[in-house]
């Protein structure tokens, strides 16, 4: 891995902030690198408040959306809550459904499209379902921004749509009653990085304001928003940081019954965004990948804890099945790449007609861990080929796919993750075009994994006070990564050993000069044992974490890479 030290030309600002806040220069530097350069900005960062949330009516069409929903409530119309089958979509549906059921007497129903029979986004089948069952209003969450033809079809059936989406719009937008999307060019909403569930929350926030609820408990819905933020990898800055901060508080005190059932299996004193991303989100996602996303919605809407436990156990089984398929297909995909030298150029594009569509996105991420290049994993879905795309740091795979759109039926997504479908006869042409575009546009350095370290630090400077301040930088995520430090002249005190399956990991006891001894763990670095044996001095890049063993807390270093001192 390549190490890159985050550069800063702000010594004057760091020194001034250090003095103003009475913190060490390392802390001040971490803040300045996050564009926090004053006492007020630091106060907002370290002490989030719900008062920091923006007025939801700043979002284009919010007034129209609220007016139409209140009209539907007044006229006792049937309302259908529609959403994508992933975590962001299912949490969005659960959030809006819960709110409307608690604040109206209307018949509120949910609809999650089948990943395999309907695919992503608003489907014609769902519109027909709404018409057949006399739903006059559909609220579509985490999808719909490209559904121009579908909304036209719905309009002809006298079904109104409110679209709440955060994906990149095209030049034209659907002719819906309201289209809530901060990325619209004509939207002046000040924060552009909400996830789909975040936009759903802004909608119920606006409804709450409009109905002048005397004792609003709107913040109690934020546990679902925090789960979506952790799953969808949106930037952890601004409004997302506030929503996530309070959402995690709800998760740790009074979570939704369905979430409570899921997190019963987490043996930790506090649920952080890391547990959300690596434990909660995969389980919710597995429903849509293996069976149907509606299973996740049922769990998140369940009000009886015993029934929620039953649903949760079913979700756990889906997740186990997903993990097995993940391992099987990843192995097959790696062999396909190893047997095809051209796959080792600038992209990895693999295809097998019977690969499970629900796990190809995960497999794409696994392939990047091995070969680190823009990756597409294809499978056959009905009469077309479907792919999940994942990218490397700094490279916009959505734009790369868009450049080859003449070969595609449809596509959508983000900078680092996307999906697409094409006709089988266009596969080879697309593959060639995609490789050529990436070759021309990717920087060579993007094809090597990079660790960006923020500060060089001495172990003597890792004090309890420093760590207490460091913990307040959380929640960590995109645009507010957990700080990565580096040190040289480290040595193990003689107790280093490999642990885990096949000795994949390392456990160490580190010292630097006259410093205290720090326990350290190095996941996936078992092959680096020779660099640190016999008390040889070395350098390491690491996070500073907390280890909690039998109720005893201690500072622990999580090593991300190890290099010789040379």
> Can you count the helices (H) and strands (E) in the chain?
20, 19
Topology given in CATH for the domain delimited by 340-447:
Diaminopimelate Epimerase; Chain A, domain 1 (3.10.310)
Looking at residue 298, what is its pLDDT? 97
pTM score, whole prediction: 0.91
Looking at residue 333, what is its pLDDT? 96
The pLDDT profile of the chain, 566 residues, written as one tens digit per residue, is 889 888 766 889 999 999 999 999 999 999 999 999 999 999 999 999 999 999 999 999 999 999 999 999 999 999 999 999 999 999 999 999 999 999 999 999 999 999 888 988 999 999 999 999 999 999 999 999 999 999 999 999 999 999 999 998 989 999 999 999 999 999 999 999 999 999 999 999 999 999 876 667 899 999 999 999 999 989 999 999 999 999 999 999 999 999 999 999 898 889 999 999 999 999 999 999 999 999 999 999 999 999 999 999 999 999 999 999 999 999 999 999 998 765 558 999 999 999 999 999 999 999 999 999 999 999 998 899 999 999 999 999 999 999 999 999 999 888 889 999 999 999 999 999 999 999 999 999 999 999 999 999 999 999 999 999 999 999 999 999 999 999 999 999 988 999 988 889 999 999 999 999 999 999 999 999 999 988 899 999 999 999 887 778 899 999 999 999 86
Q: For CATH 3.10.310.30, list the domain ranges present in the chain.
A: 340-447
Residues written for the chain: 566
Token pair in block for residue 88: 């962001």
- 108 CB neighbour count, 10 Å cutoff: 19
Contact by Cβ (8 Å): 85, 293: yes
Q: Under CATH, which architecture does the 450-564 domain have?
A: Beta Barrel (2.40)
Cα atoms in the 13 Å half-sphere on the side-chain side of 420: 32
User: How far apart are the C-alpha atoms of 308 and 314, rounded to whole Å?
Assistant: 10
Task: Decide the pairing of beta strands 108-111 and 160-164.
Answer: unpaired
Q: For CATH 3.90.1640.30, list the domain ranges present in the chain.
A: 56-314
User: How far apart are the C-alpha atoms of 86 and 322, rounded to whole Å?
Assistant: 14
Topology given in CATH for the domain delimited by 56-314:
inorganic pyrophosphatase (n-terminal core) (3.90.1640)
Task: Decide the pairing of beta strands 375-381 and 348-351.
Answer: parallel
User: How far apart are the C-alpha atoms of 62 and 186, rounded to whole Å?
Assistant: 13
Token pair in block for residue 227: 């789960």
Looking at residue 549, what is its pLDDT? 79
Q: For CATH 2.40.50.460, list the domain ranges present in the chain.
A: 450-564
Angle, helices 238-253 vs 222-232, to 10°: value is 120
User: How far apart are the C-alpha atoms of 521 and 509, rounded to whole Å?
Assistant: 9
Q: Three-state DSSP class for 327? A: helix
Q: Three-state DSSP class for 152? A: helix
Spell out the residues 6+ positions from residue 340 whose beta carbon is closer than 8 angstroms to its own: none
H-helix or E-strand spanning residue 80: strand 79-83
- 238 CB neighbour count, 10 Å cutoff: 18
């Amino acid at each position: 891995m390549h190490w890159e030290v985050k550069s800063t030309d702000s010594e004057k600002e760091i020194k001034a902030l250090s003095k103003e806040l009475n913190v060490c220069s390392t802390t001040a530097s971490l803040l300045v690198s996050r564009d926090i350069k004053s006492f007020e900005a630091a106060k907002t960062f370290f002490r989030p408040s719900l008062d920091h949330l923006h007025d939801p009516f700043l979002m284009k069409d919010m007034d129209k959306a609220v007016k139409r929903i209140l009209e539907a409530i007044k006229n006792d119309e049937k309302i259908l809550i529609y959403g994508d089958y992933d975590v962001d979509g299912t949490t969005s549906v659960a959030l809006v459904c819960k709110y409307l059921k608690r604040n109206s007497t209307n018949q509120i129903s949910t609809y999650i499209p089948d990943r395999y029979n309907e695919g992503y986004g608003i489907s014609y089948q769902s519109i027909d379902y709404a018409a057949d069952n006399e739903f006059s209003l559909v609220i579509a969450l985490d999808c719909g921004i490209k559904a121009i033809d579908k909304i036209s079809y719905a309009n002809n059936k006298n079904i109104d749509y409110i679209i709440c989406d955060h994906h990149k719009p095209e030049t034209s937008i659907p002719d819906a009653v309201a289209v809530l999307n901060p990325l619209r060019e004509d939207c002046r909403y000040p924060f552009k990085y909400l996830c789909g569930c975040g936009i759903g929350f802004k909608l119920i926030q606006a409804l709450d304001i409009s109905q002048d609820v005397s004792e609003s408990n709107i913040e109690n819905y934020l546990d679902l928003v925090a789960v979506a933020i952790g799953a969808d990898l949106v930037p952890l800055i601004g409004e997302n940081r506030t929503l996530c901060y309070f959402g995690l508080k709800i998760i740790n005190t009074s979570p939704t019954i369905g979430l409570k059932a899921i997190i019963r299996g987490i043996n930790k004193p506090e649920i952080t965004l890391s547990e959300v991303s690596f434990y909660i989100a995969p389980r919710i996602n597995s429903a849509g990948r293996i069976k149907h996303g509606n299973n996740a919605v049922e769990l998140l809407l369940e009000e009886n804890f015993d029934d929620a436990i039953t649903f949760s156990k079913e979700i756990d089984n889906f997740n186990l099945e997903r993990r097995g398929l993940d391992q099987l297909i990843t192995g097959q995909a790696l062999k396909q790449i190893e047997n095809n030298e051209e796959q080792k150029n600038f992209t990895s594009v693999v295809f097998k007609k019977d690969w499970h569509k629900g796990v190809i996105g995960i497999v794409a991420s696994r392939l990047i861990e091995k070969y680190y290049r823009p990756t597409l994993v294809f499978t056959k879905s009905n009469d077309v080929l479907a792919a999940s795309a994942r990218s490397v740091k700094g490279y916009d795979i959505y734009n790369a796919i868009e450049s080859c759109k003449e070969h595609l039926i449809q596509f959508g997504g983000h900078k680092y993750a996307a999906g697409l479908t094409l006709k089988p006869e266009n596969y080879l042409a697309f593959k060639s075009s995609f490789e050529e575009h990436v070759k021309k546009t990717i920087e060579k350095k993007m094809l090597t994994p990079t660790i960006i370290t923020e500060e060089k630090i001495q172990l003597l400077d890792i004090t309890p006070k420093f760590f207490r301040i460091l913990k307040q930088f959380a929640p960590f995520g995109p645009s507010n990564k957990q700080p990565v430090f580096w040190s040289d002249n480290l040595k193990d005190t003689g107790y280093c050993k490999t642990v885990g399956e096949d000795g994949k990991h390392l456990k160490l006891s580190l010292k630097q000069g006259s410093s205290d001894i720090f326990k350290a763990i190095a996941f996936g670095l078992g092959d680096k044992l020779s660099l640190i044996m016999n008390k040889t001095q070395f350098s390491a890049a690491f996070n500073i974490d907390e280890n909690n063993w039998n109720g005893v807390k201690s500072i622990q270093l999580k090593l991300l890479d190890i290099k010789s001192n040379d």
